[in-house]
Amino acid sequence: MVEIRTALNVKAQVVVVGAGFAGATMARLFAEAGLTVQVIERRDHVGGNAHDRYDEQGVLIHPYGPHIFHTNSDAVWAFLSRFTAWRSYEHRVLAKVGEQLLPIPINRTTINELYGYAFDTDEEVVSFYERVRVPKSVIENSEDLVLASVGEDLCSKFFAGYTRKQWGLELRDLAAGVAARIPTRTNTDDRYFTDRYQAMPEAGYHALFGRMLDHEGVAIALQTDYFECRALFQPRLTIYCGPIDRYFDHCFGALPYRSLRFEHQQFAALERFQPVGTVNFPNDYDYTRITEFKYLTGQSHPGTSIVYEFPSATGEPFYPIPRPENEALFKRYQALADKLDDVVFVGRLAQYKYYNMDQVIAAAIQKAKHLLDSRNLHT
C-alpha cells in the first residue's frame, strides 16, 4: 500500500477541504504551480468515497460501494494516468426481475428473454419500443422520460421500484436527468458503460490518490475537522469540497442528500458469488444491488467478498437529490458562495450536482486552471 504522510502546514497558501477526487486533483495542480497546499480530510484516509482497502481475508474492496472508472475525456484520462497504470475492465450489470437475471441497461437480449421474442435486428427492437412507449409532449420528470422511452411494463419492472428504494421517491418526483443516466439500447451491447476509456486503477484507488498527493508542496491532515481548525490558517485561497449547506451552518435549512448503508460479506472458500460484477434488485428486498469486487479488480483469490447496498435518508451524504425545490434551496446557498472571493466550492456535494467521477475531475481541472490564470497564483 502507498503510505500517506501526514503533516500540518499552517502557512499553506491554499487550503483544500476534502481529499476525494475534487480536492486531490486541485491540490496536485496547485502544488505543481508552485503553491504550498494543506489538504484537510475528516476521515482517516484519502480518496473520499472512492477509497479502497484490503479486507480481513485479503480481498481488495470498496468500503463505500463500487467505483468503476469510465470517461470519454482525453484530458481526464491523461491526468489520472500520470498516477496509475490501468486494468481494462468493462462493467456488466444484471437485474433480477422475477426469477430472471436480465441485462441492464435494457437491450435486445433483455427484451427477448423477458418477453420470449427472437428479435435479430435493431429495427425490430425500435418497432417494439414504438408500440409500447407512452408518448409525452413535454418531459417534466423521470417518469415521463422512462414511459416515453420504454412504456409502462418495463418502467414497472426495472425503474419504478428501484427508484423508490434508491431515492425514497417516486419516478415522477425526480428530475428527468436521473433516469437519463441509464440509456435504452436496441443492440446486444451488455456493457453498463460505453465510454472510450473503461478501466480500474491497477493497484487500486488508495494507491492512485497516494501518488496524486505525493508532492513536496502538499501537506495532508487526516481525521481533522476543517471547521475546528480553520482559524489556524490564513490562506490566499480555500477550496471547499464538502456539503455547501454545512459551510454556511445550514442557515437556510439542510439540503437533502441521499445516503447509503453497506453490509459487507466474505466467503473464504467461494471463488464466485454471482455471474457479473453487480446484480440489481429493482423490486425485491430492501437492498438495491450486490457487487462482487473481484470482477472489478481482477484479483486472484480463493475467496470472494461482496457488498449489499441499502439506501438511506440519513447518514453520510452521497447523492444530491435532483428535484426543483432542492435546486432552489441550493441556489440560495450558491448566492452566498458567490460573494466569497477567497473560497471556491468544487465537487458533488459542494456544487450539489450528481457528478460522475470523471466529471468531478474535469470540473476540478478546469477550475484549478481558471483560478491559477485569473488570479495570477502561479509562483
Most distant CA pair in the chain: distance in Å? 68
Q: 441509464: which residue's cell?
A: 182
| Region of residue 203 (left: phi > 0; alpha: psi -120 to 50; beta: else) | alpha
Number of domains in the chain: 1
Per-residue HEC secondary structure of 147-205 comes to: HHHHHHHHHHHHHHHHHHHHHCCCHHHCCHHHHHCCCCCCCCCCECCCCCEEEEECCCH
pLDDT at residue number 47: 97
Return d(Cα 39, Cα 41) in angstroms, integer.
6
CB 268 within 8 A of CB 56: no
Return d(Cα 59, Cα 146) in angstroms, integer.
38
Report residue 107 as a C-alpha cell. Answer: 437491450
Could you tell me if residue 134 is inside a domain? yes
Could you tell me if residue 244 is inside a domain? no
Q: Compute the residue count for the chain.
A: 379
Could you tell me if residue 176 is inside a domain? yes
* Amino acid of residue 184: T
> What is the C-alpha radius of gyration for the chain, rounded to an integer number of angstroms?
22
* Residue 115: domain span: 105-180
pLDDT at residue number 30: 98
Could you tell me if residue 127 is inside a domain? yes
With vertex at residue 272, the alpha carbon angle to CA 271 and CA 274, rounded to the nearest 5 degrees, is 170
Return d(Cα 235, Cα 233) in angstroms, integer.
6
Could you tell me if residue 6 is inside a domain? no
Could you tell me if residue 135 is inside a domain? yes
pLDDT at residue number 3: 67
Exposure string for 5-44, b = 16+ CB within 10 A, e = fewer? eeeebeebbbbbbbbbbbbbbbbbbbbebebbbbbbbbbe
pLDDT at residue number 179: 78
Q: What is the pTM of this model?
A: 0.94
What are the residues whose beta carbons fall under 8 Å from the beta carbon of 156, sequence distance 6 or more?
none
Could you tell me if residue 118 is inside a domain? yes
Could you tell me if residue 19 is inside a domain? no
Return d(Cα 27, Cα 344) in angstroms, integer.
13
pLDDT at residue number 262: 98
pLDDT at residue number 217: 96
Report residue 168 as a C-alpha cell. Answer: 425514497
Q: Which residues of the chain have pLDDT under 70?
A: 1-3, 378-379
Q: Within a 10 A sphere around the Cβ of 85, how many other Cβ atoms?
A: 11
Return d(Cα 352, Cα 117) in angstroms, integer.
42
* Amino acid of residue 316: E
CB 154 within 8 A of CB 282: no
